Structure 1
Amino acid sequence: MLQGSRCRLCDSIPRVWLLLASGILKGYALEKKVVKSKAGEKVGLPCCHEIPSSEGLHNYRVYWQKNTTEVVLAYAEGNVIREHERYKNRTEMNEKNLTLWISPVEILDNGPYQCVVQHLRFSQNSVVLCDETVTLFVTADFSKPNITANVSSTSCESTEMIVRCSSHGGFPKPQISGALNNVSVAWNTTSVSKSSLNLYNITGKLRLNVTKDVSFSCSVEYNGLAKSSSLLLKKTSNCVVTTEPSSYNVITASSIIIIIFLLAITLAARYLRRHVCSYCCKPQDSVEEGVKECVKPPTSPKVPSETSSV
């Protein structure tokens, strides 16, 4: 009597509540299986039960659901009774080992999946044979990091550069690292953004003073994977040395110019005086020693010419 009442009670419970109850009975058990796949590939999620060769799928109910509430694909008595819109034309189930195949895999497919298998008796009462969770971990490869270096200032001693490293289109959320000649450096700033497809983009920025040619490497790490690039940073060699003239040099140059100018004036004066005196003056001894004076030469008086007659 009690057994019959229990069966009638089971029949009165909607299927969706049976699924929720099976998840609750498992008590959020630890996930035992993890399947990894890359976006765009085909992946199979194993179920916890395999149908014996003596039986067929029509004797079972199989529910593949995500996050215990979202039914991806469901079979009852050999027929598909539910298929999620987002998984339509991307899923199929093996009728013997009940593996769920997804192709192509998308980033949004990432997460835990439950395979719930019920066996149908002749009285149409179902018995839960297994309920197990398998986690699908989807990754997407990041692009090869792109490194750029712009010179902000330079001198003979060092060259200041702004180095940027960027990568895009990957999943899950990445980390970025940098190194100078294999010695780790800390980024000044890093930014991570998410696209409409839930893919990540990442950029790192670094300011460096380069005193010699060095090799810079950038690495983007995600889910145990990594993409790396390197770039040779060259110190600018064509530096210009600017020297200001010292005050001593300025004074020396000015003094030389003044002396040359005075010497030129003195020589010019002496030349002009000698040139003029040679034509208009005659030096004579003066009464006082060392003093000369210029005296005009005497002019002979004009004698009128006379004519005599003999």
Structure 2
Amino acid sequence: MACLPAAPPALGLRRWLGLGFFMLLCLSLGYALEKKVVKTKVGEKVGLPCCHEIPSSESLHNYRVYWQKNTTKVVLAYAQGEMIFKHKQYENRTEMDIRNLTLWISPVEILDNGSYQCVVQQLRTLQNSFVVCDEPVTLFVTADFSKPNVTTEVSAKSCESTEMVVRCSSHGGFPRPKISGFLNNKSVVWNASWVSESSLSLYNVTGKLWLNVTKDVSFTCSVEYNGFAKSTSLLLQKTSNCIVPTVPPSYNVITASSIIIISFLLAITLAARYLPRRVCSYCSKHQDSVEEGVKECTKPPMSSKVSSETSSL
């Protein structure tokens, strides 16, 4: 069985040192890139840091400094301590620190959003120079959106639920936002639309949502943009109350009830009409029998008459 020769100790040490240096370089670059991102809001003052600072033993006269945007548009330029150019878009809004070369912009506009680059050249002679540094810095400009306005419109309702359309709108912000919603702390998906004149102008956003509300629920609409957020919360109420309707009686029940009522009324009518006659007839017959009885009682007895006739003889 063959064995691979072991690596020399020096080679393994060099490999680990090289890997450690590479990781340190990556971390340093990552930290440098993180430092080169600046966030601000419309109307504020912001400073964009340059990649070089002029030592106290030197002056701006020994340098050329160019601040440019998107590598195509020069914002301003200095040569031998004097400003030789400034873009009209930045007139009366920009200045540069003559020591650390920071570019100050005030007030910030949405059009200032983008990538900038600080290019520093050191002059050896009037004709000879070399680049000291050339690094970008990204400026993120934010404009606050208005507080979301939430409206509801009931499209259908029943005893069990209420169907409604919920709209959430916000305007006057930058950059393009993300709209989100929460129903009882559960995320919901919006049908969102955005309106903007261009990619570097203010946005208006509107979200639409269809909900089937079976009980009163808490609802929140949020507009998120560049690490900021504006939210509005409200209570969505179920508008219908469950009132059980009375069931009308069936046709057969109505018919039978009508027959019974009519029969009852007819019976009362007949009883009221014929019963007094029968009672009166019975009373008259009974009175006649009583009178005959009285007459019989008042007649003289026959035996007395016979006795008197016999005595006379």
Same fold, TM-score > 0.5, yes or no: yes
Which deviates the most, 256-265 or 120-129?
A: 256-265
CA distance in 2, matches of 1:60, 1:155: 78
Change in CA separation of 1:123 and 1:172 when aligned onto 2, cut-off 3 Å: closer
Larger relative helix fraction: 2
**Alignment map for 1:10-49 (pairs within 5 Å):** 32=33, 33-49=36-52
What whole-Å deviation, never above 9, does each CA across 1:101-150 have from its counterpart, x for those lacking one?
01111111111101111222334322222111111111222222222222
Q: Which amino acid in the other structure matches residue 107 of structure 2? A: P
Match of 1:259 among 244, 250, 263: 263
CA distance in 2, matches of 1:66, 1:263: 108
Q: Which amino acid in the other structure matches residue 207 of structure 1? A: W
CA distance in 2, matches of 1:270, 1:64: 123
Residue in 1 aligned with 2:176?
A: 173
Query: Any idea what SS the aligned residue of 2:254 has?
Result: helix
Residue in 1 aligned with 2:83?
A: 80
Match of 1:193 among 186, 192, 195: 195
Match of 2:254 among 233, 250, 254: 250
**Alignment map for 1:50-69 (pairs within 5 Å):** 50-69=53-72
8 Å contact kept, 2:194–2:206: yes
Residue in 2 aligned with 1:135?
A: 138
**Alignment map for 1:1-310 (pairs within 5 Å):** 32=33, 33-187=36-190, 189-195=191-197, 198-238=201-241, 241-247=244-250, 248-260=252-264, 262-263=266-267, 266=270, 270=274
CA distance in 1, matches of 2:104, 2:68: 13
What whole-Å deviation, never above 9, does each CA across 1:52-88 have from its counterpart, x for those lacking one?
2232222221110001110011112222211111111
Change in CA separation of 1:55 and 1:239 when aligned onto 2, cut-off 3 Å: same
8 Å contact kept, 1:154–1:239: no
Residue in 2 aligned with 1:7?
A: none
CA distance in 2, matches of 1:186, 1:255: 62
CA distance in 2, matches of 1:171, 1:127: 40
Deviation at 1:99, TM superposition (A): 0.4
Residue in 2 aligned with 1:303?
A: none
Q: How many residues align?
A: 249
Cα-Cα RMSD: 2.9
CA distance in 1, matches of 2:160, 2:170: 32
Q: Which has the larger radius of gyration?
A: 2
Deviation at 1:244, TM superposition (A): 4.6
TM-score, normalised to structure 1, is: 0.71
8 Å contact kept, 2:161–2:240: no
CA distance in 1, matches of 2:259, 2:209: 54
TM-score, normalised to structure 2, is: 0.70
Between the aligned residues of both structures, percent identity stands at 69
Gapped regions of structure 2 (runs ≥ 5):
1-28, 286-313
